[in-house]
Amino acid sequence: MVFSSVTFILGFLPIVLLGFLVLASFGQRRMAAGWLTLSSLVFYGWWNPWCVPMLATSIVANYILGSYLARNPSKIVLVLGIIGNLLPLLYYKYTTFLLTNIDTAFGFDWHLNEIVLPLAISFFTFQQIAYLSDAHDGAVVEHDFLNYCLFITFFPHLIAGPITHHREMLSQFGNPENFRPRFDNISIGLTLFGLGLAKKVILADPLGTVASPAFVAAADGQGLPLLDAWGGALAYALQIYFDFSGYTDMAIGLGLLFGISFPPNFDSPFKARNVIEFWSRWHMTLTRFLTAYIYNPIVLRATRARAAAGKPLPRRGKMTPGTFLALVAWPTILTMFISGVWHGAGWQFVVFGVLHGAYLVIAHGWRALKASRGWKLDDDRLLPHASSVLLTFVCVVVALVFFRAESVPAALNLLAGMVGLHGVVVPASFANLPLVAQVVASQGLAVGAGQFVQIEDWATILALLAFVWFMPNTQQFMLHFRTALGWRGRPAWVQAILPAMTWRPAPIYGVALGVLSFFVLMQTFSSAPTEFLYFQF
C-alpha cells in the first residue's frame, strides 16, 4: 500500500482518519493513540504480514532496553543494544551483497537465495539506536510504552521518513491538545498531501520513464551519446527530487491530519550553493542523525585524543593540514561512507557516499582557506551565486548517476557518455539552424533523433529545472501556516514580486487546488501505483 494507491486514498486513510476523529472528539487520547498504532501496523503489514512480528519484537526489545539504560547507564549494554539493532539490518540488507562478492572473488559458484528486505528496516533501526543512545545519556524524559510504539510505527513516516527524534515526537503524542480535531490542520494537511501527490504522479513518475531506458542501456554496455547520457542523468535527478519531495509533503500533510508535525526533510536542495548546504537541504533528518550520532562523536573522540597528546585546538580560521585531516576530512569521509552504505548494498552506493564525502571535504577546505585569508564566505552577487549553484548541481548529478546505476561499470559507462566519449548526436530540428549547422559541419557531428531522450523530453527537463530553481517550494508556498515542525524558512524572492504565490485559506486557492487534485486523482486511479524511490532503502 503506497500513499498514491487507490487502496490508501479511498480505503485506508478515510477509515483511519474517521476512527481517529471520533475517538479524539470524545477525548479518548489513549484509545486514539492505540487506534493509530494498530492502524500503522496494518499499513506496515500490507506488503508482507510476516514482517510485523519482527517490527513488534524490535519495538518491545528496544523499549525495555531503553528503560533499563535510563535507570542504569552502561556502555556495554548500550553497545550490545546497538549491535542487536544492526545485526538484522546487516543480515537482510547486506548478506547477499557480501556473499556475492566472496563468490565472485573465489569462484565458489554458490547458489544464493534472495533475502527479502523488510520495509523501512533502515529507518526504524536508526530511530531506535538514537533512542538507546539518548536513554543512556539521560536525554530521554518520556517512557510511555504506547507513545513509544506510536513514535516508531506512525504510518506517515514509517516507510521512508522523515527520521524522527523521540524528543520531538513523544512530547507531541503525550500532548492532549494534539488529539483534538482542528479544521486548520485538516485543511493544510490535505493541501500538502495533494501537492505531494501531484509531484509524484504528474512529475516524478513520467520522468522515470525517460531515465530508466538510458540507465538500462548503460548497464547493458551500450555507449550513449552526449545528449542522451545527460538527458537520462538529468531526468533521474529530477525524478528523485520530485519523488522524495512529494513523499515528504505527503508525509507532513498526513501527520497534520492527526495533529502531529514532522520535522522538515526537504528544502529545495538543488538551490544549494555548495555540497555542505545541499546536505542541509536534502534528506535533512538523515543529515541530522548522521551528524549527531556518527560525525560529532568521531570529532569529539579525535579532539580528546589530540588534547591528551598535548596538541592545542586550532583557533578559528587557523587550521593546519594535519588538524584538518583529523577533525574534518577523516570524520566526513567515514560519515558519508556510512551514508552511502545505508542507502543500499552495492559498490555503486559506496562510491556515491565516498564521492559526496570528497565533495564535502573540498567544500570545507575551501571555506577554511577563505576564512584564513579573511575572504567573504558566500558571495551573493548574481553571477557568483548562480555559478556556485550550477557547479553544485553538476556535482550532485554526477553522484546520482552512481546512486541510480545498477553497478559501478554501468555508472562509468553513462558518465563516459556525459563527457562525450561516445559521440554527439545533434537533434535534426536544430541541425539546420545557422550557427548549429556550422558547428555540425566543422566537427563532423552526427544528426538524428535522440535514441532515449527526445526533444520534447528536453523541453520538459529544462522547464522543470527552471521550476526547481526559481519557484517557491511547498513550505514557502504555505509560509504563513503550520507545516513542518519548527520550520523557519524564508520566502522565495519571487513571492515578493507575486504575493499570490503564497497560500491562504481563500476560495481561489481552494478552487485551483481542487481542480489540480481532481486531475491528479484521475491520473492516480487510472494507472498502477509506483513505489516511492526511497522505499527500497
* Per-residue pLDDT tens digits for 317-333: 567 788 888 888 999 99
Q: Let me know: does 407 contact 346? Beta carbons within 8 Å.
A: yes
Choice among 136, 157, 283, 343 that is catalytic: 343
Of 282-286, 512-516, 527-531, the least confident: 527-531
pTM for the structure as a whole? 0.93
Q: What is the mean pLDDT of residues 111-115?
A: 76
Mean pLDDT, to the nearest integer, of 385-407? 96
Q: How confident is the model at residue 34 (pLDDT cuts 50, 70, 90)?
A: very high
Residue 283, pLDDT > 60, answer: yes
pLDDT of residue 315: 64
- Residue 407: pLDDT band (50, 70, 90) is very high
Between 531 and 301, the more confident residue is 301
Residue 166 falls in the annotated catalytic set: no
Residue 443 pLDDT:
74
CA atoms of 116 and 101, how far apart (whole Å): 18
Instruction: Give yes or no for residue 537 having a pLDDT over 80.
Output: no
User: How high is the mean pLDDT of the chain?
Assistant: 90
Q: Tell me if 470 sits within 8 A of 501, measured CB to CB.
A: no
**302 vs 84, more confident:** 84
Q: Report whether pLDDT(110) > 70.
A: yes
Question: 510505527: which residue's cell?
Answer: 153
pLDDT digits (tens, 9 = 90+) for 338-373: 999 999 889 999 999 999 999 999 999 998 888 888
Distances (CA, A) of 335 to 17, 121, 162, 280: 39, 19, 19, 15
Pairing of strands 425-426, 446-447: parallel
Q: What's residue 30's pLDDT? A: 92
Question: Which residues, other chains included, contact 243 with Cβ-Cβ below 8 Å and sequence gap of 6+?
Answer: 199, 200, 204, 532, 533, 534
316 pLDDT band (50/70/90 cuts)? Answer: low
Tell me the pLDDT tens digit for each residue of 410-456: 999 999 999 999 888 887 767 777 777 778 778 777 887 778 888 88
CA 252 to chain centre: 14
> Looking at residue 183, what is its pLDDT?
87
3-state secondary structure of 425: strand
The pLDDT of residue 314 is above 70 = no
pLDDT of residue 433: 72
Asked if pLDDT for residue 378 goes beyond 60, the answer is: yes
Note the pLDDT of residue 425. 84
